Structure 1
Protein backbone atom coordinates (compact mmCIF):
# COMPACT_ATOMS: atom_id res chain seq x y z
CA UNK A 1 0.00 0.00 0.00
CA UNK A 2 1.14 3.52 -0.78
CA UNK A 3 -0.65 6.74 0.15
CA UNK A 4 0.07 10.21 -1.24
CA UNK A 5 -1.15 13.41 0.37
CA UNK A 6 -0.63 16.89 -1.05
CA UNK A 7 1.31 19.31 1.13
CA UNK A 8 -1.66 21.69 1.04
CA UNK A 9 -3.89 19.07 2.70
CA UNK A 10 -1.53 17.93 5.47
CA UNK A 11 -2.62 20.38 8.18
CA UNK A 12 -6.32 19.60 7.69
CA UNK A 13 -5.60 15.86 7.56
CA UNK A 14 -3.74 16.05 10.88
CA UNK A 15 -6.60 17.97 12.45
CA UNK A 16 -9.25 15.51 11.25
CA UNK A 17 -7.28 12.45 12.36
CA UNK A 18 -6.44 14.03 15.72
CA UNK A 19 -10.11 14.53 16.57
CA UNK A 20 -11.25 10.97 15.82
CA UNK A 21 -12.10 8.99 18.95
CA UNK A 22 -9.91 5.88 18.70
CA UNK A 23 -8.51 3.28 21.10
CA UNK A 24 -5.67 0.79 21.19
CA UNK A 25 -3.94 -0.08 17.93
CA UNK A 26 -6.07 2.36 15.95
CA UNK A 27 -5.02 5.22 18.23
CA UNK A 28 -1.33 4.22 18.12
CA UNK A 29 -1.35 3.99 14.32
CA UNK A 30 -3.17 7.30 14.03
CA UNK A 31 -0.51 8.90 16.23
CA UNK A 32 2.27 7.40 14.09
CA UNK A 33 0.69 8.81 10.92
CA UNK A 34 0.16 12.21 12.53
CA UNK A 35 3.85 12.29 13.51
CA UNK A 36 4.89 11.55 9.91
CA UNK A 37 2.56 14.22 8.58
CA UNK A 38 3.62 16.76 11.23
CA UNK A 39 7.29 16.30 10.27
CA UNK A 40 6.41 16.98 6.64
CA UNK A 41 4.26 19.98 7.60
CA UNK A 42 7.26 21.43 9.47
CA UNK A 43 9.45 20.95 6.36
CA UNK A 44 6.83 22.62 4.16
CA UNK A 45 6.64 25.59 6.52
CA UNK A 46 10.45 25.90 6.51
CA UNK A 47 10.46 25.80 2.70
CA UNK A 48 7.68 28.40 2.59
CA UNK A 49 9.77 30.66 4.82
CA UNK A 50 12.82 30.21 2.58
CA UNK A 51 10.72 31.19 -0.45
CA UNK A 52 9.37 34.23 1.39
CA UNK A 53 12.90 35.33 2.28
CA UNK A 54 13.99 34.77 -1.31
CA UNK A 55 11.17 36.91 -2.74
CA UNK A 56 11.21 39.56 0.01
CA UNK A 57 12.35 43.08 -0.72
CA UNK A 58 15.79 43.65 0.82
CA UNK A 59 17.13 46.53 2.88
CA UNK A 60 20.52 48.20 2.38
CA UNK A 61 22.26 45.25 4.05
CA UNK A 62 20.50 42.71 1.80
CA UNK A 63 18.33 41.48 4.68
CA UNK A 64 14.64 40.75 4.02
CA UNK A 65 12.27 43.56 4.97
CA UNK A 66 9.66 42.42 7.51
CA UNK A 67 6.60 44.53 8.40
CA UNK A 68 3.94 43.43 10.90
CA UNK A 69 5.64 40.01 11.22
CA UNK A 70 5.32 39.42 7.46
CA UNK A 71 7.88 39.54 4.71
CA UNK A 72 7.44 42.40 2.28
CA UNK A 73 7.21 40.41 -0.97
CA UNK A 74 8.32 42.16 -4.16
CA UNK A 75 7.11 39.90 -6.98
CA UNK A 76 3.83 38.51 -5.61
CA UNK A 77 2.94 36.61 -8.80
CA UNK A 78 6.21 34.67 -8.95
CA UNK A 79 6.09 34.06 -5.19
CA UNK A 80 2.53 32.70 -5.39
CA UNK A 81 3.51 30.39 -8.28
CA UNK A 82 6.38 28.93 -6.25
CA UNK A 83 4.19 28.59 -3.15
CA UNK A 84 1.48 26.83 -5.16
CA UNK A 85 4.10 24.46 -6.58
CA UNK A 86 5.27 23.71 -3.02
CA UNK A 87 1.70 23.05 -1.85
CA UNK A 88 1.01 20.80 -4.85
CA UNK A 89 3.93 18.52 -3.98
CA UNK A 90 3.00 15.32 -2.19
CA UNK A 91 4.23 13.24 0.68
CA UNK A 92 4.34 9.58 -0.30
CA UNK A 93 3.95 7.10 2.53
CA UNK A 94 5.07 3.66 1.41
CA UNK A 95 4.07 0.31 2.87
CA UNK A 96 7.07 -1.54 4.29
CA UNK A 97 7.32 -0.59 7.97
CA UNK A 98 4.21 1.54 7.54
CA UNK A 99 2.04 -1.16 5.94
CA UNK A 100 0.14 -2.08 9.12
CA UNK A 101 -0.40 1.56 10.02
CA UNK A 102 -1.74 2.43 6.56
CA UNK A 103 -4.11 -0.55 6.56
CA UNK A 104 -5.38 0.37 10.04
CA UNK A 105 -6.01 4.00 9.09
CA UNK A 106 -7.76 2.93 5.88
CA UNK A 107 -10.05 0.70 7.96
CA UNK A 108 -10.66 3.54 10.43
CA UNK A 109 -11.64 5.89 7.59
CA UNK A 110 -13.81 3.25 5.90
CA UNK A 111 -15.67 2.44 9.13
CA UNK A 112 -15.89 5.97 10.53
CA UNK A 113 -19.44 6.79 11.60
CA UNK A 114 -18.80 10.40 12.57
CA UNK A 115 -20.83 13.05 10.73
CA UNK A 116 -18.64 15.51 8.87
CA UNK A 117 -19.63 18.81 7.31
CA UNK A 118 -17.91 21.70 5.60
CA UNK A 119 -14.12 21.57 5.39
CA UNK A 120 -14.02 18.41 7.52
CA UNK A 121 -16.21 16.61 4.99
CA UNK A 122 -13.97 17.71 2.13
CA UNK A 123 -10.75 16.53 3.81
CA UNK A 124 -12.41 13.29 4.94
CA UNK A 125 -13.43 12.57 1.33
CA UNK A 126 -9.92 13.48 0.13
CA UNK A 127 -8.26 11.13 2.64
CA UNK A 128 -10.66 8.29 1.78
CA UNK A 129 -9.83 8.77 -1.92
CA UNK A 130 -6.08 8.75 -1.23
CA UNK A 131 -6.27 5.58 0.87
CA UNK A 132 -8.50 3.87 -1.74
CA UNK A 133 -6.01 4.73 -4.50
CA UNK A 134 -3.13 3.62 -2.27
CA UNK A 135 -4.73 0.27 -1.62
CA UNK A 136 -4.67 -0.46 -5.34
CA UNK A 137 -0.89 -0.04 -5.65
Structure 2
Protein backbone atom coordinates (compact mmCIF):
# COMPACT_ATOMS: atom_id res chain seq x y z
CA UNK A 1 0.00 0.00 0.00
CA UNK A 2 1.15 3.53 -0.79
CA UNK A 3 -0.48 6.82 0.21
CA UNK A 4 0.33 10.22 -1.32
CA UNK A 5 -0.79 13.49 0.24
CA UNK A 6 -0.06 16.90 -1.25
CA UNK A 7 1.88 19.32 0.92
CA UNK A 8 -0.98 21.82 0.61
CA UNK A 9 -3.34 19.34 2.32
CA UNK A 10 -1.10 18.33 5.23
CA UNK A 11 -2.45 20.73 7.85
CA UNK A 12 -6.08 19.96 7.14
CA UNK A 13 -5.44 16.20 7.05
CA UNK A 14 -3.61 16.36 10.38
CA UNK A 15 -6.43 18.37 11.95
CA UNK A 16 -9.17 16.05 10.71
CA UNK A 17 -7.43 12.85 11.80
CA UNK A 18 -6.31 14.32 15.12
CA UNK A 19 -9.89 15.10 16.16
CA UNK A 20 -11.30 11.60 15.57
CA UNK A 21 -12.17 9.76 18.80
CA UNK A 22 -10.24 6.48 18.74
CA UNK A 23 -8.92 3.91 21.19
CA UNK A 24 -6.14 1.36 21.37
CA UNK A 25 -4.44 0.25 18.17
CA UNK A 26 -6.47 2.67 16.05
CA UNK A 27 -5.39 5.62 18.18
CA UNK A 28 -1.73 4.54 18.16
CA UNK A 29 -1.63 4.05 14.39
CA UNK A 30 -3.48 7.30 13.74
CA UNK A 31 -0.96 9.11 15.99
CA UNK A 32 1.96 7.53 14.13
CA UNK A 33 0.47 8.58 10.79
CA UNK A 34 -0.23 12.12 12.03
CA UNK A 35 3.38 12.38 13.29
CA UNK A 36 4.67 11.52 9.80
CA UNK A 37 2.44 14.20 8.31
CA UNK A 38 3.44 16.74 10.98
CA UNK A 39 7.15 16.15 10.34
CA UNK A 40 6.60 16.74 6.64
CA UNK A 41 4.51 19.84 7.39
CA UNK A 42 7.40 21.25 9.43
CA UNK A 43 9.81 20.59 6.53
CA UNK A 44 7.43 22.31 4.10
CA UNK A 45 7.23 25.36 6.36
CA UNK A 46 11.03 25.54 6.54
CA UNK A 47 11.21 25.29 2.73
CA UNK A 48 8.55 28.01 2.39
CA UNK A 49 10.62 30.27 4.64
CA UNK A 50 13.74 29.56 2.53
CA UNK A 51 11.85 30.47 -0.63
CA UNK A 52 10.65 33.71 0.98
CA UNK A 53 14.22 34.56 1.97
CA UNK A 54 15.47 33.82 -1.56
CA UNK A 55 12.80 36.05 -3.13
CA UNK A 56 13.08 38.88 -0.59
CA UNK A 57 14.78 42.24 -1.09
CA UNK A 58 18.13 42.28 0.69
CA UNK A 59 19.68 44.95 2.90
CA UNK A 60 23.29 46.19 2.73
CA UNK A 61 24.47 43.07 4.57
CA UNK A 62 22.64 40.79 2.08
CA UNK A 63 20.07 39.80 4.69
CA UNK A 64 16.37 39.58 3.73
CA UNK A 65 14.32 42.67 4.52
CA UNK A 66 11.33 42.02 6.79
CA UNK A 67 8.47 44.55 7.06
CA UNK A 68 5.52 44.05 9.41
CA UNK A 69 6.69 40.48 10.20
CA UNK A 70 6.67 39.58 6.49
CA UNK A 71 9.46 39.23 3.98
CA UNK A 72 9.67 42.09 1.48
CA UNK A 73 9.28 39.98 -1.68
CA UNK A 74 10.80 41.38 -4.90
CA UNK A 75 8.87 39.37 -7.51
CA UNK A 76 5.54 38.13 -6.10
CA UNK A 77 4.66 36.20 -9.26
CA UNK A 78 7.90 34.20 -9.24
CA UNK A 79 7.57 33.62 -5.48
CA UNK A 80 3.97 32.39 -5.83
CA UNK A 81 5.02 30.04 -8.65
CA UNK A 82 7.72 28.51 -6.44
CA UNK A 83 5.33 28.24 -3.47
CA UNK A 84 2.67 26.56 -5.64
CA UNK A 85 5.27 24.06 -6.84
CA UNK A 86 6.22 23.32 -3.21
CA UNK A 87 2.57 22.88 -2.17
CA UNK A 88 1.87 20.55 -5.11
CA UNK A 89 4.65 18.16 -4.07
CA UNK A 90 3.49 15.06 -2.19
CA UNK A 91 4.56 13.07 0.80
CA UNK A 92 4.62 9.39 -0.16
CA UNK A 93 4.13 6.90 2.64
CA UNK A 94 4.94 3.37 1.51
CA UNK A 95 4.01 0.01 3.00
CA UNK A 96 6.93 -1.92 4.49
CA UNK A 97 7.17 -1.01 8.17
CA UNK A 98 4.16 1.29 7.70
CA UNK A 99 1.89 -1.36 6.15
CA UNK A 100 -0.03 -2.13 9.36
CA UNK A 101 -0.42 1.55 10.20
CA UNK A 102 -1.70 2.39 6.70
CA UNK A 103 -4.22 -0.47 6.77
CA UNK A 104 -5.47 0.65 10.19
CA UNK A 105 -5.86 4.29 9.12
CA UNK A 106 -7.67 3.17 5.95
CA UNK A 107 -10.03 1.08 8.10
CA UNK A 108 -10.60 4.06 10.43
CA UNK A 109 -11.56 6.21 7.44
CA UNK A 110 -13.74 3.51 5.87
CA UNK A 111 -15.64 2.85 9.11
CA UNK A 112 -15.80 6.44 10.35
CA UNK A 113 -19.33 7.28 11.48
CA UNK A 114 -18.67 10.96 12.16
CA UNK A 115 -20.69 13.39 10.08
CA UNK A 116 -18.53 15.83 8.11
CA UNK A 117 -19.73 19.00 6.42
CA UNK A 118 -18.24 21.91 4.53
CA UNK A 119 -14.46 22.05 4.24
CA UNK A 120 -14.06 19.13 6.64
CA UNK A 121 -16.09 16.93 4.24
CA UNK A 122 -13.84 17.96 1.34
CA UNK A 123 -10.72 17.08 3.35
CA UNK A 124 -12.23 13.73 4.44
CA UNK A 125 -13.04 12.88 0.82
CA UNK A 126 -9.50 13.85 -0.28
CA UNK A 127 -7.85 11.66 2.38
CA UNK A 128 -10.12 8.72 1.55
CA UNK A 129 -9.27 9.06 -2.15
CA UNK A 130 -5.55 8.94 -1.34
CA UNK A 131 -6.00 5.69 0.57
CA UNK A 132 -8.19 4.19 -2.16
CA UNK A 133 -5.57 5.02 -4.79
CA UNK A 134 -2.86 3.44 -2.62
CA UNK A 135 -4.17 -0.13 -2.78
CA UNK A 136 -2.41 -0.92 -6.05
Normalising TM by the smaller chain, what interval?
Answer: over 0.9
How far 1:119 moved relative to its partner? 1.1
In the alignment, what sits opposite 2:6? 6
Q: Which runs of 5+ in 1 are unaligned?
A: none
Q: Which runs of 5+ in 2 are unaligned?
A: none
TM-score, scaled to structure 2:
0.99
TM-align CA RMSD:
0.5
How far 1:61 moved relative to its partner? 1.3
In structure 1, how many angstroms separate the alpha carbons of the residues matched to 2:58 and 2:15? 36
In the alignment, what sits opposite 1:42? 42
Given the alignment of the two structures, is residue 125 of structure 1 paired with residue 131 of structure 2, yes or no? no
What SS is found at the alignment partner of 1:30?
Answer: helix
In the alignment, what sits opposite 2:90? 90
What SS is found at the alignment partner of 1:46?
Answer: helix
Report 1:50-61 matches (<5 A): 50-61=50-61
In structure 1, how many angstroms separate the alpha carbons of the residues matched to 2:80 and 2:50? 13
What SS is found at the alignment partner of 2:134?
Answer: helix
The 4+ residue runs of structure 1 with deviation greater than 2 A are: none
Count of residues in correspondence between the two structures: 136
In structure 2, how many angstroms separate the alpha carbons of the residues matched to 1:69 and 1:36? 29
In structure 2, how many angstroms separate the alpha carbons of the residues matched to 1:24 and 1:105? 13
TM-score, scaled to structure 1:
0.98
